[in-house]
Structure 1
Amino acid sequence: MKFSAIQIGVLALVASANSATAQQAPVAPAASNESTVVPEVLITATKRTTSLQKTPVAVTALDAAALEDAHVQTIQDVTNLVPSFQATGQGDHGVITMTMRGIGNDSAKTEYADPEVAFFVDGIYSPRPEGATALLFDVDAIEVLRGPQGTLWGRNSTVGAVNMQTVKPKLKEFSGSVSGGIGDYARLGARAALNVPTGDNSALRIAVIHEQHDGYVKYQTLPNISLADQRAAFLAGGGDPAQFQPINPNNYVTNGPRYNAQDQSGVRVSWLYQPSDRLKWNISYERFQDRGTPNMNLMQTPRAGQDEWSALIDTAPFLHRDVNTFRSRVDYAVTPDISLAYIAGYSKFSGSSTFDQDGGRVLPTSFTTGGDFQANNTVWSKYSSNSHELQLQSTGQREVDWQLGAYYAAEDNGIRFDIPIMHGTQQGSVAWQGSFIQPKETVDSRAVFGQATWNTGNVHLTGGLRYTSDKRTNQGGNGYTWNYDATVPQVPLTPNIDPTKPGQGYNPSVPSNEGRYKGSKTTGLARLSYDVDKNHMLYASVATGYKAGGLQDGGRTYDPETLTNYEVGSKSSFMGGALRINNALYYEDFKDFQFSSPVTNPDGSHSFVTSNVDGAKVWGFESEIQAKLSPDDKLALALSYTHTKLGFLVAGSNDYALPFCPDLNSNCLNVTGNIMPHAPKFSAHLNYQHTFRMANGDTLIPRVSVHHETKSELSIFNLGPEDQQAAYTKFDIGLRYQGPKQFWVDAFVRNVGDKRIKTSAMNGANVWVAQYLPPRTIGVNAGIDF
């Protein structure tokens, strides 16, 4: 089937006439390569397997092929493929935080704050943000659900949820794949998967992966500052001439692992046991290991003569994370009309890191004047979590489809986080330093839920409720801050110093961080959908979601935040299935927004504060378009428009240079009415690929991805160009050769124009810095499937 210029023009016209979305790349093509029909997509957004085009939910589904084409490795790579989805890098904790439809919180990276976008693997919640940065390997599909998912998916899915489905073992099949790759920045990658039958009723699957590349950030050398100038600056600062010492250049890092490096490995062992058609058990063990380095904050305007991808570093990068996870799902057909599922998971994390928070933004003038030394060090961090969910639901096509469920989850977290800050260099005097030690923080969450859909003709009416009860405790937690005792040597805080012991120069905070939080919430869903005909469906819904309240420094509590989402949408197929357009138009009423930030208190102490503020109003539309222009041409287009307005909030943060507020006796800014961060007004992402077929049956498939978005703010403070990412367009290209016997080679160039794209910014030292998406990278992968 060939498309004429007129037909292509009609396609573009139809695409522009539709408002907004809920779909994307195919999962498991049901048609042949010669077909001009966009393959059907099966999803689990409603916790039952349904066709994407028949599911009245705004959801993007990405299969393994789409993820491979886009060279996806982390959730941050997924964001360009999904409307209204953003992710930001957070260097000091080595994590990624997510924003959807303009709602998110960059501080949701610690043991105190939870994200607004919930992350699941095989339907099991991953509670800490580290889980979202794990390598996405041996993945069957990723579903991104937009809008509150509080009824079926629970707490912390305030504005959406991401569910990653791993590849499961298959009965009576011996198959596998092996691949490897190289690239610039000394990139090396390898992955393999093997499916092995272990009997008539069982099968085993083993998948492994390793990815590494050198860091993008080069080391600067300390500029030559004459001893005379150093001495003059020291004396001008009131220093005692007898105490003068020269700056030690050996305190600055000039070699070794660089910031923004990757060194990650993973292994997953999965087993399927299916003794009958009624009973199936999937169980897996997964280990993830990260030995890379954190991402560095770089000067937005580099010093003269310095590379923009470089920094003056006085704290060597270190990142050590291990995650061990068990997952289990048992499905049992109670009767031909009723099924029962038990989903359980257990995860244990341990980690530590060092991070150069000052980033050499301000040069020292002497060993104790001019710039400063600040490190953000996670001495140790640990958490364990477990969850259990029981689902009972109807099966098959019924007049009333229903499901009931019960859920329990628990966490046990602990951390020691040190912040030494010295005047000038680490040889200087103490400006401020402290250690935040939280030995035991617990979470206990319980819920019951139910949802039913009444099907009458072409009309489908859905209602659902979920009741959740949450408890949190902080046991023995406290902050220990430098007390400026003249008898104690002024040296940077290190893991070898125990600040809890008397005589070390530290006092515990009063009051301590011990405390308890208890709260509950009922969330719900009401939705009406109408099948216009077999190719067109309309829906309207009202849904609520919430993020639990909790504890903060001083043992104080903060309240839950809630979101009510009003949405209308459409899902349509045109041209005999060659074109699909899914749209969504939404309005969000966001209340009690939990704003978290590090602040300096009036007494000079530092703490991490979470406040409930008025909230925000958000509205927008999304549109996803898929087209099979011919048997050899595929196109996918994702569009979004987002409008945000922050409610009343007077906010402070040590990460920004803010004016002094006499009423609060601290630095702050009234940000009422500002634009929410990471919410560009308009964004568009286009994927196009063409298949060239050779005489011998081999294929050559070039592809191009184009991402464009308008200006976006990087913080709630809206402080101007430095606190924004300007409008940009980014290109990725690739070329895949599919040879005989399932052999393939895939070459790619990402960020072809080498754009410098900011994901976060701050100016706490009156110098603007930012974190960036990777520069241009080039690589090639090759493998064989068998």
Structure 2
Amino acid sequence: MKTTVLKTKQRAITPIQFAVLVLMAGSTAAQAQNAATADTQKPTAAQAAAAANNSDKILEVLVTGTKRTTSLQRTPVAITALSAASLEDNHVQTLQDIVNLVPGFSATAQGDHGVMTMTMRGVGNDSAKTEYADPEVASFIDGIYSPRPEGATALLFDLEAIEVLRGPQGTLWGRNATVGAVNMQTAKPVIGKSFGTVEGGAGSYNRLGMRGAFNVPVSDSMALRFAFVNEQHDGYVDYQTMPSIPLASQRAAFIAGGGAAADFQPINTNLFLTGGMKYGAQKQSAVRLSMLWKPTSTSKWDLSYEKFADRGAPNMNLMQTPRAGQKMWSALIDTAPSIKRDSDSLRSRFETALSDDVSLAYIAGYAKFSGSQTFDGDAGVVVPTSFATGGSHREHNTNSSNYVNYSHELEVQSTGKKEVDWLLGLYYAAETNDIRFDLPIMNGTQQGTVGWQGSFIQPKETVASKAIFGQATWNLSDSLHLTGGARYTKDDRANIGGRGYGWANYPATPATVAQIPVNQNVNPWDPNSGFGPPGLNDGVYSGSKLTGLARVSYDMDKNNMWYASVSTGYKSGGLQDGGRTYAAETLTNYEFGTKHTLMDGAVKISNALFYENFKDYQFSAPVTNPDGSRTLATTSAEGAKITGFETEIAAKLTKDDKIQVSLAYTPKAKLGKLLAGSNDYVIPTCVADKTVSNCVDVTGVTMAHTPKIQMQIQYQHTIQLGNATLTPRISVHYESESNLSVFSDYFGAPDKQGAYSRTDLGLRYEGDKFYMDFFVRNVGNGNVKTSAQNGNTGGIWVAQYLPPRTFGVNAGFNF
């Protein structure tokens, strides 16, 4: 089925026609509505979809990517806009669910921290999951930056739209939007109307879901909206049973490994899990209370409070080649999975007209997060031969992680269309983090002796960012527009009291040292703990940068336009273990784009051709130092050079038939000079760089998660059933081969994801108020790797994968 769809498209149109057609799929997948029109009831996702189905045109999409409400097809920026209806149709819950809808975008799950890391146009950072590393793709909720991915991307619900902006967005959007920004817009209250929606769902892996939203008018100038969601399903990874090993064999292995016969003990098979929550399980819930108040005819205040809780399990590293007799989605597990995350967020936006020509907006945000997590780091790849030989017990335990961040932004801008449209702003953000991460590694099983273990304790790390920015567009005529913008950013970081403790590896371990896995009740600074003197991580960092934008756009007529731009992106430098600093990274992006509306609105196309010159790319990885200590190190690569083409198309073939196509073609994404080390991989001894024990020259490697071709085709047909509709749909995603890390060219296939396609199916019944939506995802049940490693598993290759085939149904009622 998948091959037929792709080949049919190739025979039907020429490559040039295809490049023109493929332009707009993701972009015009939206029917995003302008939040400023909140005094009338907005259509629900179902009503918006129905309106689109009853038209022979692609509906106009309004976006706010330039911090003004503009038509998508008249906005000179590469934007993909996904409406509430599109998000619902594609069963979007996390950013990983929308990557198929956005060209040149990837989001991968990284196991031991269980968070999303994002790559756009070849630039990303898989280590942007700790307090040390920031992402190159910035996440925003209602325009408020979310510095840590746990809260922003964990569970998307009750959204009005998602806008994905590609290319540097730092001038207007600020922190860490080096290569792009994702802005999630929550649904807002509506004054004067009472309405709501309730939905329930069920599916494979005992999936149960419930969500809803209620709009409550309070007065002629105020309304409230309450939204909730709960999603849960069993994990994908089954438990393997510990093989039965004769006692004689265990004793012989123990003695052969240097153990004394008097110290022998049998393997405690109860240490290996056979039940309970499985890896990959979901158990998440959230609630949001929103308020809209319009105290005057020219002012309004949006305020929301959101609480999120996660009690699920992280994804699991699985053996790429399973042991004989074992299933792919199974593992021998001796560390129970757990996630405990709680976050509270407060978001506020107040805007008012200062005059007929000038408006002011004050945007503020506050978030508090706390969490812990356990993860099986050895992945059960080797069956132990005795309680202290043969295998390895390795835990990655985040005992506690807390952060508090807040931000303030003040914007003043012109209103209406003037000869010069301008915006000025001030920004301040601050963040405080603390974390304790323990890494016990035991020989054989938990009963065995210590192989090595570490405890990384960071009591306080602070971040402060200040910025002033402005942008102006000179409308030289009704058709020709020149835009210039600049942002000056000042960043300060401090690590206060951070310590990294490593096992001392005594030649003859004193009897007073307990051979037990380190845990939060162990004080590694105790002389009898077995840990040596700690590494000191105290340090300060301060840096600043001026970034900018220059753009020209020309409206050829009301249906066609082009733009050309040069923009720069910036991500702050910072601190690493040992209190050492690392440099900021910068990106210069050259882009030419076109947008077209054809056939009286039945076809809409967006194109972007870009070249990126990336400097001082920050590569972060856990490494072993020449003295045997282990740290998280950040190295600045020389940079990278990336070229690519993106196109998105949406077309109404008939009133009842719609096709969407998106394509990203990235022929070049080459990393500059870099000697890279990482304990996640078995790599040779480093002779060119004496700062780490092991390294590989990865200069010229293709950037990770950047396939040369990434394509998505979606088709749906609407069947009219009187006052109801029945809409089957199919979505096919294709990617050519891609690297999973900077080491992929060195290791080859185990560290790559080969070319693949995945197909999703859906069938939606839409009545007057009731709807049902059936879906199957990953129809072919293919295994697609998102990350790989062999360093923590004795050279045996493991990987994390996208979910296997899932299916289910959602049913809802609008009132």
Deviation at 1:18, TM superposition (A): 6.4
Deviation of 1:732 after TM superposition, in Å, equals 0.3
- 1:284 aligned to 2:304? yes
- Residue 47 of structure 1 aligns with which residue? 67
User: Aligned equivalents of 2:207 and 2:600: distance in 1?
Assistant: 44
Task: Please show how residues 57-72 of structure 1 align to structure 2 within 5 Å.
Answer: 57-72=77-92
Report how far residue 33 of structure 1 moved: 4.0
Q: Give runs of aligned pairs for residues 55-454 of structure 1, distance below 5 A.
A: 55-454=75-474
What is the deviation of 1:19?
8.3
Could you tell me whether the CA contact under 8 Å between 1:155 and 1:545 is conserved in 2? no
Please say if residues 15 and 625 of structure 1, whose CA atoms lie closer than 8 Å, have aligned partners that are also in contact. Answer: no
> 2:697 corresponds to which residue?
670
Q: Distance in 2 between matches of 1:338 and 1:11?
A: 49
SS of 1:660's equivalent in the other structure is coil
CA deviations on 1:452-506 (whole Å, 9 max, x unpaired) are 0000121110000000000000111111122244230211111221223332222
- Please tell me whether residue 516 in structure 1 is matched to residue 543 in structure 2: no
Letter paired with 2:497: G
Quote how far apart the aligned CAs of 1:236 are: 1.8
Q: Secondary structure of the residue that 1:235 maps to in structure 2?
A: helix
Map 1:550-565 onto structure 2 (within 5 A). Answer: 550-565=574-589
AA aligned to 1:779 is G
Q: Using a 3 Å threshold, how does the CA distance of structure 1 residues 685 and 450 change in structure 2: closer, same or farther?
A: same
Structure 2: unaligned runs, 5 residues or longer: 1-7, 33-47
Distance 1:56 1:418, change over 3 A: same
- 1:17 Cα deviation from its structure 2 partner: 4.4
How big is the shift at 1:13? 6.1
How many Å apart are 1:634 and its aligned residue?
Answer: 1.2
- Rounded to whole Å, the distance in 2 between the matches of 1:59 and 1:743 is 32
Distance in 2 between residues matched to 1:379 and 1:370, nearest whole Å: 28
**1:614: which partner in 2?**
638
Q: CA contact under 8 A between 1:478 and 1:508: conserved in structure 2?
A: no
Of the structure 1 ranges 391-400 and 476-485, higher mean CA displacement relative to structure 2 is found in 476-485
The one-letter amino acid of 2:19's match is: S
Report the number of matched residues.
778
Q: Does 1:701 align with 2:730?
A: no
Matched letter for residue 501 of structure 2 = Y
In the TM superposition, residue 601 of structure 1 has moved relative to its aligned partner by 1.0
Q: Deviations over 1:540-563 (max 9, x none)?
A: 000000111110100001011110
Query: What aligned pairs does 1:531-570 form with structure 2 within 5 A after superposition?
Result: 531-570=555-594
C-alpha separation in 2, matches of 1:573 and 1:537:
9
- Is the Cα–Cα contact under 8 Å of residues 15 and 581 in structure 1 kept in the other structure? no
Give the match's secondary structure for 1:507.
Answer: coil
How far does residue 32 in structure 1 lie from its aligned partner after superposition?
6.1
1:747 match = 774
Matched, 1:686 2:689: no
- In the TM superposition, residue 508 of structure 1 has moved relative to its aligned partner by 3.6
Is 1:766 the counterpart of 2:785 in the alignment? no
Out of 742, 765, 781, the position equivalent to 1:737 is: 765
Cα separation, 2, equivalents of 1:24 and 1:775 = 29
- Take 1:330 and 1:489, find their aligned partners in 2: how far apart are those partners? 58
Distance 1:773 1:563 in 2: 30
Q: Could you report, residue by residue, the CA deviation over 1:747-777 in whole angstroms, capped at 9, with x for unpaired residues? A: 1000000010110000112000000010000
CA deviations 1:578-604 (Å, max 9, x no partner) are 001100000000100100000111111
Amino acid at match of 1:177: T
Secondary structure at the counterpart of residue 628 of structure 1: strand
Superposed displacement of residue 248, structure 1: 1.1
Cα RMSD of the aligned pairs, angstroms, is: 1.6
Q: TM-score w.r.t. structure 1 length? A: 0.97
SS in 2 for 1:215: coil
Q: Which moved more, 1:185-194 or 1:242-251?
A: 242-251
Q: What displacement does 1:431 show?
A: 1.1
Matched, 1:598 2:619: no
Change in CA separation of 1:13 and 1:697 when aligned onto 2, cut-off 3 Å:
farther
Q: For residues 112-167 of structure 1, what are the alpha-carbon distances to aligned partners after superposition, in whole Å with 9 as ceiling and x for unaligned? A: 00011000000000001212432110000000000111111112111100000000
Tell me, in whole angstroms, the C-alpha distance in 1 between the residues paired with 2:21 and 2:809: 38
Give secondary structure in 1 for the equivalent of 2:173. coil
TM-score by length of 2: 0.94
Query: Contact 1:19–1:584 (CA<8 Å) still a contact in 2?
Result: no
- SS of the residue corresponding to residue 109 of structure 1 reads coil
* Partner secondary structure for residue 503 of structure 1: helix
**1:509, distance to aligned residue in structure 2 (A):** 2.1
Give aligned-pair identity as a percent.
63
Q: Supply the AA of the counterpart residue of 1:465.
A: A
Single out whichever of 231-240 and 772-781 deviates more from structure 2.
231-240
Asked if structure 1 preserves the Cα contact closer than 8 Å seen for 2:375 and 2:397, the reply is yes
The 8 Å contact of residues 75 and 132 in structure 1, kept in 2 or not, is answered as: no
Cα contact 2:22–2:661 (8 A) shared by 1: no
Provide the rounded CA distance (Å) in 1 between the counterparts of 2:123 and 2:236.
30
Q: Please point out which of 444, 468, 481 is paired with 1:460.
A: 481
> C-alpha separation between the residues in 1 aligned to 2:16 and 2:591?
24
**3-state SS, counterpart of residue 667 of structure 1:** coil
Are the counterparts in 2 of residues 715 and 723 from structure 1 also a CA contact under 8 Å? yes
Deviation at 1:23, TM superposition (A): 2.2
Q: Give the Cα–Cα distance (whole angstroms) in 1 for the partners of residues 284 and 391 of structure 2.
A: 34
Q: Give the structure 2 partner of residue 654 of structure 1.
A: 679
Aligned equivalents of 1:317 and 1:177: distance in 2?
34
Distance 2:582 2:151 in 1: 25
- Note if 1:480 corresponds to 2:480: no
- Which residue identity does 1:461 align to in structure 2? L
